[in-house]
Amino acid sequence: MAERATGTAEAAASETAAQAPPEDPTSTTTANAGTGPVEPAAGAADADADGQARAGEARPRRRRVAVLVGVVGELLITAGLVLALFVAYSLWWTNVVANQEASRDSDAVRDQWAAAEDESGGDDDQPPVFDPEDGIGFLHVPAMTDDVILVKEGIGLDVLNGGVAGYYDTPVESAMPWDEEGNFSLAAHRDGHGAKFHGIDQIEEGDPIVFESSDTWYIYRAFAILPETSRYNTAVLNAIPEESGATEAGRYITLTTCTPVYTSRYRYVVWGELERTERVDADRTPPEELRAAD
């Protein structure tokens, strides 16, 4: 009996084991979850290491990019400030300096005229007294500017940068207002260094252009305007400026300057023709054309 019972028990145990579900391979992990960390698989550890390495490399790279962007930004700001200072210097400060220089030179010319008049005793037969390098007279163009513009010999920057107009001595030699015929041709800056011809585009046909010498007012009338031409077009300075429509010798005046504004690519030209002259009186009373413009 005992042997039969034992056999029956063993058979029952075997049957129970056969009917039991297969063991879950994760049960060990679950069972051990509360006992401490579980060592990760080898592949996961390698992936984490690679990610950390890439992150470590990316941080210095981002720092380098940030530094580069900062340096470029500072350079752009510096360049902008330098450009702004250059513009202020070119369009404002050079005007201040040039106008001061022109004012001193103008006073010197008028003082020279007064001294020469005292020496001559007011003799009207005396020829004009002037030194071309100091100045030969003054240009008045009410439609263009309220300034009285000193006129000197030459059109080089050493002359024009002084806030004056210059008469051409090259490539075409200008006539003088007191010559019997010819073209009194002038140039001046349009922007910076006094910008004496800045408003040249305000001149219209019929407007007076007056030149004041030591003893005579020369009153011209604008009769032709060329808004744009090549800076190499010297024909506009000819004794008979045919591009103005003139066909015969006369006593002309030509004003030239750069165009468009703030560039020197082309030239703007205004022509005038002498209408009359008037002797300068003791008070240097301006002719009626200038008085009417005041």
Residue-range domain boundaries for the chain: 99-293
Residue 69: per-residue pLDDT: 79
Sequential pLDDT tens for the chain (294 residues):
444 444 444 444 444 444 444 444 444 443 344 444 445 555 555 556 565 556 556 667 778 777 777 778 777 787 777 766 666 666 789 999 999 999 999 999 999 999 987 776 655 555 555 567 789 999 999 999 999 999 999 999 999 999 999 999 999 999 999 999 999 999 999 999 999 999 999 999 999 999 999 999 999 999 999 999 999 999 999 999 999 999 999 999 999 999 999 999 999 999 999 999 999 999 999 999 999 987
User: Can you give the three-state secondary structure of 217-279, one letter per residue?
Assistant: EEEEEEEEEEEEEECCCHHHHCCCCHHHCCCCCCEEEEEEEEECCCCCCEEEEEEEEEEEEEE
pTM of whole model > 0.75?
no
CB 222 within 8 A of CB 205: yes
Residue 5: per-residue pLDDT: 41
End-to-end CA distance of the chain: 149
99-293 fold: Sortase; Chain: A; (2.40.260)
Residue 32: per-residue pLDDT: 42
Residue 7: per-residue pLDDT: 45
* Residues carrying an active site annotation: 258
Token pair of 214 as six digits = 């030591």
